[in-house]
């Protein structure tokens, strides 16, 4: 039997029992739509993590010092100095070096910001070398590094001025000095590794950190350079500049953190999708049941076809193709519902779900595989029927 005849026969059989077939499809529709929705949410979560890392400078690596004795106070060892920032700039592949204070891998300067009777502690960061996501106002200009200007984070602007847009043009006090608000950044992503930062000039940060112990170095890599090779040269230079330290310099790579988070998110998404896909098994049982009923109802048809020369393989393909058609149509409907549910979920999540072609193709293939697995046994039974018994039973 040709493919065209198989399609015609399958569609005729489905049309003859519309309600029964639709009820059988429900399990497939639920399973496929659930998997597609969850995969789209997982893809959206990965995209949000990547976006957060880009916002915090993807070309940056942080170098800290790890003492051999974990109880040693590294602030007394002085593993970094101001001169390191000048020497390391000459290394091939290094674009810029900044001294940093804060936790390993997360450099920041804290400050107290005030507006009349309102006060808040904020994380201050330099705008230089970063792609700021400005929600209101404007970004810094290159010739304004010496001016007392600030781009407030969204939450601070909202708490001080009710409407963040109203902060523009006002003056706020940071650690006792007055700064003009020229912009307000967009809300930080839910999975931002640095949280919300208020941005000022590098000179302001240096003045605030003057005299404080350098806990790490932020090293900006030129595009296309190998991070590990650059770190080898940086490590060698630091060891030469600080030869008597008992310990080692450690690289904290934001890109590696991103990949680790993506791996965790991917694993969680796959597990939840697998659990949701259990309904596919239930739907598959329903398909097997309906195919057994169909074989039982069409015994006379099977017997007549065998009697006039139809081969067992032709009978097998006919019923197997009907099973695939049922799950395939159910899968397509499930994909459409999954797309719709993903769009709806995006209104309640802090990030938009991402619909990928891979999810749709995978869902389609899965629905076809379910049709093959659960339709093969009834199809085999139909192909093995004795023509005489099938006609007269």
For every one of its 393 residues, what pLDDT tens digit does the chain have, with 9 covering 90 and above? 567 777 777 778 778 888 888 888 888 898 889 888 888 888 888 887 777 665 555 577 888 887 777 655 555 567 877 778 788 888 888 888 877 655 444 445 667 788 888 888 787 887 776 777 888 998 888 777 778 888 988 888 888 988 888 899 899 988 778 899 999 988 765 545 444 778 888 777 777 666 556 777 888 888 878 888 888 888 888 888 888 788 888 887 666 667 777 788 888 888 887 877 787 888 888 889 888 888 888 888 888 888 887 788 888 888 888 888 889 889 999 999 999 998 898 888 878 888 888 888 888 888 889 889 998 988 888 888 877 776 766
Identify the domain containing residue 121 by its residue range: 59-252
∠ CA 364-368-373, rounded to 5°: 145
Please say which residue of 197, 219, 252 terminates a domain. 252
Q: Which of 195, 227, 252 is the last residue of a domain?
A: 252
129 shares a domain with 45: no
**Do residues 172 and 312 both lie within one domain?**
no
* 94 in the same domain as 149: yes
How many CB atoms sit inside 10 A of residue 353's CB?
A: 25
- How many CB atoms neighbour CB 225 within 10 A? 14
Q: In terms of domains, do 48 and 85 share one?
A: no
| Residue 221 sits in the same domain as residue 312 | no
Give 153: exposed, middle or buried? Use CB within 10 Å, 0-12, 13-18, 19+.
buried
Q: Are 157 and 270 within one domain?
A: no
Residue that finishes a domain, picked among 234, 252, 270:
252
Domain co-membership, 221 together with 324: no
Report the domain count for the chain.
Answer: 2
Buried b (16+ CB within 10 A) or exposed e, 108-139: bbebebebeeeebebbbbbbbeeebeebbbeb
119 and 240 housed in the same domain: yes
Residues 69 and 145 in one domain: yes
> Is 130 in the same domain as 21?
no
- One domain, residues 171 and 198: yes
Both 193 and 326 in a single domain?
Answer: no
* Pairing outcome for strands 109-115 and 106-107: unpaired
* Sign of the CA dihedral running 364, 370, 376, 378: negative
pTM score: 0.58
């Amino acid at each position: 039997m040709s493919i065209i005849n198989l399609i015609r026969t399958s569609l005729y059989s489905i049309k003859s029992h519309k309600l029964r077939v639709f009820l059988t499809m429900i399990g497939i529709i639920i399973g496929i739509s659930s998997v597609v929705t969850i995969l789209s949410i997982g893809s959206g979560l990965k995209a949000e993590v990547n976006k957060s890392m880009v916002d915090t400078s993807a070309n940056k690596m942080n170098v800290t010092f790890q003492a051999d004795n974990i109880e040693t106070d590294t602030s007394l060892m002085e593993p970094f100095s101001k001169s390191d920032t000048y020497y390391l700039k000459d290394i091939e592949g290094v674009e810029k070096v900044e001294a940093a204070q804060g936790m390993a891998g997360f450099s920041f300067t804290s400050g107290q910001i005030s507006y009349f009777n309102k006060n808040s502690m904020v994380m201050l960061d330099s705008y230089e070398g970063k792609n700021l996501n400005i929600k209101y106002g404007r970004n810094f200009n290159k010739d304004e590094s010496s001016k007392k200007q600030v781009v407030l984070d969204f939450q601070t602007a909202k708490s001080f001025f009710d409407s963040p847009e109203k902060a523009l043009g006002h003056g706020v006090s940071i650690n006792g000095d007055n700064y003009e608000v020229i912009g307000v950044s967009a809300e930080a992503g839910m999975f931002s590794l640095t949280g919300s930062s208020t941005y000022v000039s590098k000179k302001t940060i240096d003045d605030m950190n003057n005299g404080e112990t350098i806990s790490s170095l932020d090293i900006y890599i030129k595009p296309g350079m190998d991070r590990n090779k650059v770190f080898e040269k940086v490590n060698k230079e630091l060891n030469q500049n600080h030869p008597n330290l008992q310990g080692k310099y450690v690289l904290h790579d934001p890109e590696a953190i991103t990949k680790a988070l993506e791996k965790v998110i991917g694993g969680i998404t796959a597990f939840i999708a697998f659990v949701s896909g259990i309904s596919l098994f239930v739907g598959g049982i329903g398909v097997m049941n309906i195919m057994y009923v169909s074989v039982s109802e069409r015994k006379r048809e099977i017997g007549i076809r065998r009697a006039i020369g139809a081969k067992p393989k032709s009978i097998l393909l006919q019923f197997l193709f009907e099973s695939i058609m049922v799950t395939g149509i159910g899968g397509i409907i499930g994909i459409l519902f999954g797309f719709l549910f993903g769009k709806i979920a995006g209104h309640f999540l802090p990030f938009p779900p991402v619909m990928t072609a891979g999810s749709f193709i995978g869902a389609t293939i899965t629905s076809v595989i379910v049709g093959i697995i659960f339709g093969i046994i009834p199809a085999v039974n139909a192909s093995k029927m004795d023509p005489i018994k099938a006609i007269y039973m």
